[in-house]
A = this chain, B = another copy of it.
């Protein structure tokens, strides 16, 4: 397939995935092979926010903000209205409302802006009853060495684009106008590649495309206003390159359970082959029980979630910004993370240093958060 027709194909699929209809798993594969900036746009308005099941863009920033006055839910609504107005323009290649560098907005390159709320955003009496029950701190995992500077915030904005300048401009547009109302806690910048900095193929296992409505998107059964939203678990995982590189190649493959060259499970030959955990060689499991994929593999139908890994490289620190999206993190994500904490071989070289949970808002008809502030949706 020529580069041009491939681009056309990818572009054709984007509107659909932005609305949650498209194929995330297929999209990941495309993004990996065809990583150059895309001239196309993602929808801002829709049932779901773009940037979640969307094929991953090359560059992303997660912005963590605290509200200066948590009790002022009108201020929060004002922020969300303003962001919606700007994002509706910027994602379509138009200048933001108070944009003084409109030329930097002209190449959206699949820009997406998605907003989520942390537990602290539900402090006001008007909103306290609307907090999803799963929106609470994750259990303390034994492997965690969490640093306050990468911790939970009241609000998160996930901005992503194939163009680093477009991303920088959008991050500025998001953060600058809200400084009287919020405190910027952190910006986590990352890039997507298909491999992480350990050289491992990453993000292979994903829910099937036709399970998004079931596994990713909230149906509003607990909190009506959340219908079309989802949850985000955001983990910052430091990776110790020195000790990892001291390990021989076979040892590195055993710790993951996959080959390094193409990410195939050690019992298979292609990335998407199903691992066979019962296979043995000379009485020894081919995929060690303590390997990452053996521990991470779903043990029930609910233990599935969307994996969106971004690499960060801020010398001398590097690692992974691991974003997991699922309808209910307590039921879907936590059991897997608990098993990894208990005995993942990779723990020797990785350290979670940041952790946060957010309710990612439903898509906007008029503005993000409209159902939260409306009659319950």
Bound Cα distance A186, B198 (Å)? 23
Interface segment among A131-139, A187-195, A226-234, A285-293: the answer is A187-195
Contact A195 B104 (CB under 8 A): yes
Distance (whole angstroms) from the CB of A262 to the closest CB of chain B = 9
Contact A316 B260 (CB under 8 A): no
Distance (whole angstroms) from the CB of A84 to the closest CB of chain B = 21
- Answer whether A164 and B59 are a contact pair too, CB < 8 Å, given A4-B2, A36-B37: yes
Which secondary structure dominates chain A's binding surface?
A: mixed
Interface residues on A, range: 35 or more
Copies in the complex: 2
Whether A172 is near chain B, meaning CB under 8 Å from some CB there, is yes
Contact A241 B199 (CB under 8 A): no
In the assembled complex, which residues on chain B have CB atoms less than 8 Å from the CB atom of A85? none
Contact B193 A164 (CB under 8 A): yes
Contact B103 A261 (CB under 8 A): yes
- Answer whether A195 and B103 are a contact pair too, CB < 8 Å, given A176-B241, A245-B176: yes
In the assembled complex, which residues on chain B have CB atoms less than 8 Å from the CB atom of A61? 315
Distance (whole angstroms) from the CB of A18 to the closest CB of chain B = 21
Interface residues of A, Cβ cutoff 8 Å to B: 2-4, 35-37, 58-59, 61, 63, 100-104, 163-165, 168-169, 171-172, 175-176, 184, 187, 189, 191, 193, 195, 197-199, 241-242, 244-245, 249, 252, 260-261, 311, 313-316, 318
